[in-house]
Structures are given as C-alpha cells and as structure tokens.
Structure 1
Amino acid sequence: MPTGEDSERVVLKPLPRAVENVADDPSLHNPLARQERLSTGWFGVVVEFDGVVVEDTSDLHIKAWLQLADEEGKSRPLQFALKRADGMKNEQVVQEVFCWSRAPMEVRRLCARKEELYAALAGNHKPPVVPGVPLFLETLVKHNVPAGVVSSAPEARMQSALAATGLKHAFQTVVTGDDVYRGRPDPEAYLFAAQQLGRPTVRCVVVGNSNQSVEAARECGMRAVVVAGRKPLYELGAADLVVRGLDELSFINLKQLFSDEESVEAQSDEPELEPELEEEPAISRPTMTMDYWPQ
C-alpha cells in the first residue's frame, strides 16, 4: 500500500510556451519592417516638458494660483491641493481640485486670468534647459527613436517656451493641454503622443519627474523613467528606472526596459495535468514455520 507521502497527488506544470512579441504586426508584408519591430530598439519616447526638458516652474504656478485666490476673494488653497494641482490642466484645477466653479464661462475666465498672472510673474525670463537634455535628444535622433514632448500648459505658452529652448526640431510631436481633456495623472496626453509617434503604448517610454508621471504611464501600459533631480530616490521607486539627470540615461538603458519581453513565460490556458499514481505491487515475503528449524 502506498504511504501517506506517496498518496499525495503530484501536479506537473506544462512547459512554458513562446511569448508572442507585443510589437509584432503580422499584417506587414515587408519582412524587414516586421523584423525591425521585433527588436528591442523599436520604441518611442514621451518626454515631460516642465521639470525634464526645462527647469521646474511649479513655484511660479503656485504663486499665480495664490494671487488669483486673493483677487477673487476665495480661500487660499492648502499645500496638499497645490501639490495635487501640479501637472494638471488649469480647468481641472479650478473645477476638481480647488472647487471654485463649474460654470464653463467662469472656468474659462479664471483660467485666462491665472495665465495672465503667471506671465506677469515669469516676465521675459524663460526657464533654462536642463543639462543633458540636448545630448539625450541627439542620441534618440542618432538611433532613429521618435520622441514627443507633453505638457498640460495651453498651446500658446507651450509653443513659446519650446521655441525658446531651440529643441523643437528634436520632437516629432508636441502635445499641449489644448489637445486633451485631462492632464496628469490621466494618461490621455501620453496615449495621444504614442498615436502621433506611430508606436504602441507597450513600446513607449515616459520620461517624467514625479510619481504622477509613473501613475499615468502605468495606466496605459508604458514604461516609466523618472528624472529625480534633487528628490529622494526612495520616493520614486515605482518607476522602471530612476536617474538623477538625463546625462545618466543611455540608449542601452532604454532598450533594456523591453528585454523582459523575450524572457517572460506565458501562462498556459490548458488545465494542469494530474497523473494518476500506480500502486506499488505488494511484495510477498516467505513465512517462517516451526518445521524450518532443525531438530
């Protein structure tokens, strides 16, 4: 009879199946174009403008919101509300974060006035380009990696600031707050940028500077790289890769973000096999009788 240990069922898992590359397109008739898509070097990059391409200007935005609150006779937003508003469209901030108004005309008036206050605070000063950005963009151009820049700012302010950097030629697409309904952490801007770049979301890398960027990238299936700057690295651990500056980010680092596509084992839909255990035949042992012993 089998023992207690032998009676337990042994579950044999099926062998892992080959994973179909998510970037593959069987409808392509050109085998070279299809082969190019299968490599880990076929991807797109979506870069946040404020805080990644140029120095962070969140302090000026906070001052503009506080001045607007004083002008309108509204209570000043608390610190956590101002932090939550970072990266959002002005319309989102007025309606959902500060809850000042939901009337369309009033919302537009408040947003326009906030932009006027911000322009007055900024003056003729344009935020400087972050060190390492030009070299990083040159690397992407060298390896034929399309790049797009994303911002929740209105188109007029975004186009003016981007032109001042002299880097507009390095981006294949520019997505502003006027192109989408919602800003971060909603991934709508990232999705639109990926569509313009001609890359599936699973083959795009978002380069941001906050956990909101990581949240939006995760929401639409993109990889996330965070430029920490002076922020503590442990606060940004949810990203796929964290660097202090773009000068630490290379083309090889970006390719490695997609290397797991070739090693991930797919889960089989087939039921697990449970083979039946054969009972061991009973071993017959000779019986000893008294006649065996000599007299």
Structure 2
Amino acid sequence: MNSDKPVANETKNTQSLHDHALDSLLPLLACPECRGDLARQGGGLTCQSCSRSYEVADGIPLLAQAGSSELWGVESDSQTSTAYQETFLDATIGERYQQRYERRWSKRFTTRREIGRIEQLLMSQPRCHRLLDIPCGGGRVSGPLVNATDLLLQADISLSQVLTARQTMGSPGSFAWLTASAFLIPLKEGVVDGILCNRLAHHLAGVEQERLIGELLRVSKRFVIMSYYDHDSFKSRGRRLRGKKPGYTLRRSDLAAMARRHGASVAMDLPLWVEGSRLRYALLLKNLD
C-alpha cells in the first residue's frame, strides 16, 4: 500500500520547486501586452492593468506572443520571421533541435566554440545577480551563464524548447523559466543585469533586428551579448558575388548605430572563428551616465 508514497512525495517536491521558481520570477514579470504587473489568479496569471490572463503550464508562465512588427505597431518591411517562429511552436521541436546538435560532430565542435566566445565576453563583466537567456533553445550554450549569475532566466517562444532547457539544466534552485517572444519580452525594465541572445538576429529582417536590440537593452541593466551574421564576412560577400542573397546580415556600423539609438555601445565584437567569419558575437554595454 505504501509503494505509491515515494512517487507522490517526488511529485509534490517537484511541484513545490516549480512553485518556488515561479514565485522568484513573478516580481520581475510584466504583461507583454501593456507591461502591467502580473499576479497569480487561480492556476494562471492575470495582468493587474489590462486584465489579460495567461496560463501557467507545469510551473512555466506562457507569455509568448508569436508575430512580427504588427505586435508593436510598426509597418513591416515585407520580410518577417513569422514562419520561422511557427516552426518552433511544434511540440517536438525541442528534442529534435537538441538531437541535431548532439549527433553531428561538426555541430558539437561549433557549440564548443560558441561557448568559448560567450565565456570570453561574460568574463569581461562583473558577476550578475540575474541573467536572461533568450532564446534559450534547449540550453545548448547556457552552461557558461550558470556560474556567472545567482539566478538564470531561460526563455523561448517554444514551450518545447523551454521544457528541454529545464531538463538540461537540472535543479530549479537557481533557475526560472518562461515562454516569451524576444520582440515583447515580458519583463520589467532593467530587471536583469545581462542578456545572452544567441543565433536569433540572423533570422530577422531589418525592422525586427531593430526591435530585438531595443527590447534586449530595455530589459537589461548592464549588458547584452548577441550573435549576428556579418554583412562583410567572406561567405556573405561570396554569396553576393554569385548573385545570391546573403541572408539577414548586419553591418558592424549598423549594429553600432542601433545600439546607440537604444542607449548602448558596442564594447567588444568577436568572430566565431577568425576575422571574416560570418557569425560574430558582440558585447553591448548600456550607457550608465
């Protein structure tokens, strides 16, 4: 008769840990619609300002809103990431994405290099109280963030990815999770010390890139680490010479200009491999004066 007790106790303990993670996150949250305060109501969350309700699934607030510039009232430049976002709403995407990077040796090698660049930029900054990883994916490059902060927030538009990240990272003691769009980050202004935004900007067109950088710098108090595709990389130039589109690239001067418009500057800008690499990692520092 007692055989079910350990299972029941484990379930109860897990739920308690998830509730604790949500409680630590709640004071930081803001309604993605109006940026009002969120409060618990029943099994979900409700905005105290606009009364919009949000579900909580397995301790994870579901605050993501898929879409593009129509969400923030700006005219689209005809190219959007909406279709890209929709691919990540598939319930199995988290596991499949993780497996792709684990099975191929070239992907594993690239992951180690990405982590090295992220660590290099993180080490240039003082230890953080809170860090945000968005989009976190399945936690593929989240490792360096754990030792750099007291609380790591992991967010992704895909619940599947967030669940995979939670499984990857383990104990919720120093973690909190939520679903979120990087265009409408459901956090209050300046509530995290820093943000990692890995492998998102190169999926976005110009209007979306500007919005992304603005949102990251709104939520971060000190810095943002972000990757992007360099417009002047060897691969980008080669594609243009062959009459092909280079993808959603950024000129370094344009990145610097966007950062300035949102109260920051580019402090460091490193290639993933060598100068001329397409993928680069930039450290944006907020202007604190």
- Structure in which a larger fraction of residues adopt strand: 2
Greater radius of gyration (CA): 1
TM range (shorter): 0.3 to 0.5
Question: Structure 1-normalised TM-score?
Answer: 0.35
> Which structure carries more relative contact order (alpha carbon 8 Å, separation 6+)?
1
Question: Structure 2-normalised TM-score?
Answer: 0.36
